[in-house]
């Protein structure tokens, strides 16, 4: 059987729409539908409930999602084991959000390597949704991600082990020449431009939720909109505008005085840096054990 058909089924489960799933697979909707038909023929059961004007996922497909993911994960592990030359191990695949690859990930790898063994790591950087999708499809051994307590958490079951690595926070900062325009108690003047995250992005959602209850918010004229927090941190220190930036990304600039944290009236937005591994993945669990030993 072509295992890509099972991957098609997972993407259909994630998108819950034939057209959107076909776009993800870089093919036309009719071609994607034919592939789903081929999977149904192999199984001997309909996976879609086809009506006159709509198509819905069958309960059988949704119920089978954990088994499909586990099967594909085991097949990929087997493929990697059979493919590798004797004596050569496969690298540990770690997926992380872009900002964490520049802050937490170097420390995580360094701590894991503090034990006797040295890890060969293949790092993938993605936005949070894509990183989560890769991890759930067993395309990554370890996922490093931010968690914000006011947002719904992913309902992992006991097949996924989760541990908080560090605490972090989004802090309101300003740099460059703009830091000399601050009012008393580091209040931002109304005319100072801001750098914002797209509303639909992970950090954009967090900032939006925070602003609803904060005494002061960053509401100056928008200079730049970007989802790339590493770039946002650099623009802050260049004086482009004020912004919410992960403290771990701009800690050194705050210490040196290149960036200034705004008044406590703006508050801070606490986040957790969290590691996820599949409980059945021995290599990933060993990596996690190395970290817990060094914590």
Over range 90-111, report the average pLDDT.
92
Are 128 and 158 within 8 A, CB to CB? no
Q: Categorize the per-residue pLDDT at 86 as very low, low, confident or very high, splitting at 50, 70 and 90.
A: very low
Give the whole-angstrom CA distance, residue 67 versus residue 149.
29
pLDDT of residue 264: 92
Residue 175's DSSP bridge partners are 259
**Three-state SS at 167:** strand
Domain 168-270 has CATH 3.30.300.90: no
Tokens of 214: 């904060």
CATH 3.40.50.620 fits 68-166+272-294, yes or no: no
Residues 46/251, Cβ–Cβ less than 8 Å: no
What are the angstrom distances between the C-alpha of 159 and each of 70, 121, 138, 146? 10, 23, 12, 20
Tens-digit pLDDT profile for residues 234-272? 999 999 999 999 999 999 999 999 999 999 999 999 999
pLDDT of residue 82: 64
Are 140 and 131 in contact by the 8 Å Cβ rule? The answer is yes
Domain boundaries, the chain: 4-64, 68-166+272-294, 168-270
Q: Please name the residue ranges forming H helices in the chain.
A: 4-15, 18-24, 29-43, 59-63, 65-83, 98-102, 104-112, 128-136, 202-211, 229-237, 247-256, 282-294
Helix (H/G/I), strand (E/B), else coil: 19: helix
Q: What pLDDT does residue 115 have?
A: 65
Residue 221 — pLDDT band, cuts 50, 70, 90?
A: very high
Question: Do the beta carbons of residue 42 and residue 76 sit within 8 Å?
Answer: no
Residues 4-28 have pLDDT tens digits of 888 888 888 888 888 888 898 889 9
Q: Which residues contact 11 (CB under 8 A, 6 or more apart)?
A: 21, 24, 25
pLDDT at 288 over 60: yes
Instruction: Choose the weakest-confidence range: 65-69, 123-127, 135-139, 266-270.
Output: 65-69
pLDDT band at 155 (very low <50, low <70, confident <90, very high): low
- Residue 124 pLDDT exceeds 50: yes
| Average pLDDT for the chain | 88
Residues 205, 128 contacting (CB under 8 angstroms): no
pTM of the model: 0.68
The rounded percent of the chain whose pLDDT value lies above 70 is: 92
- pLDDT at position 255 is 95
Supply the pLDDT for residue 222.
Answer: 96
Q: Is the pLDDT of residue 89 over 70?
A: no
Answer yes or no: is pLDDT of 286 > 60.
yes
Residue entry with tokens 């870089």: 26
Q: Do domains 68-166+272-294 and 168-270 have the same CATH topology?
A: yes
Say if residue 52's pLDDT is above 70: no
Helix, strand, or coil (residue 218): coil
For 14, the enclosing helix (H) or strand (E) is helix 4-15
Cross-strand bridge partners of residue 58:
none
CATH number of 4-64: 1.10.10.10
Q: With 0-12 CB in 10 A as exposed, 13-18 as middle and 19+ as buried, what is 139? A: middle
- Cα torsion through 283, 286, 292, 293, rounded to 10: -150
Residue 182 pLDDT exceeds 80:
yes
Classify strands 160-175 and 121-126 as parallel, antiparallel or unpaired. unpaired
Q: Which of 61, 51, 46 is nearest to 14 (CA)?
A: 61
pLDDT band at 198 (very low <50, low <70, confident <90, very high): very high
- 49 band by pLDDT with thresholds 50, 70 and 90: confident
The Cα 192–Cα 288 span in angstroms is 44
């Amino acid at each position: 059987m072509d295992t890509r058909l099972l991957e098609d089924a997972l993407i259909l489960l994630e998108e819950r729409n034939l057209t959107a799933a076909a776009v993800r697979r870089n093919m036309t909707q009719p071609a994607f539908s034919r592939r789903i038909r081929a999977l149904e023929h192999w199984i001997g059961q309909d996976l879609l409930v086809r009506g006159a004007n709509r198509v819905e996922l069958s309960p059988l497909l949704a119920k089978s999602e954990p088994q499909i993911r586990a099967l594909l994960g085991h097949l990929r592990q087997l493929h990697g084991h059979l493919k590798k030359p004797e004596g050569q191990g496969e690298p540990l695949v770690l997926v992380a959000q872009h900002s964490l690859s520049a802050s937490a990930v170097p420390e995580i790898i360094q701590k894991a390597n503090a034990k006797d063994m040295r890890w060969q790591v293949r790092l993938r950087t993605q936005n949070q949704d894509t990183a989560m999708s890769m991890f759930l499809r067993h395309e990554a051994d370890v996922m490093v991600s931010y968690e914000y307590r006011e947002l719904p958490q992913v309902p992992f079951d006991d097949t996924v082990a989760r541990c908080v690595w560090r605490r972090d926070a989004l802090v309101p900062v300003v740099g460059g020449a703009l830091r000399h325009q601050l009012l008393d108690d580091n209040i931002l003047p109304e005319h100072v431009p801001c750098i914002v995250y797209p509303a639909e992005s992970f950090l954009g959602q967090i900032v939006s939720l925070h602003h609803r209850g904060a005494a002061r918010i960053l509401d100056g004229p928008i200079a730049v909109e970007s989802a790339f927090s590493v770039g946002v941190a650099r623009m802050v220190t260049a004086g482009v505008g004020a912004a919410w930036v992960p403290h771990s990304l701009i800690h050194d600039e705050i210490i040196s005085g290149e960036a200034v944290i705004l008044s406590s009236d703006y508050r801070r937005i606490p986040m957790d840096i969290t590691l996820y591994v599949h409980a059945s993945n021995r290599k990933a669990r060993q990596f996690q054990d190395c970290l817990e030993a060094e914590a």
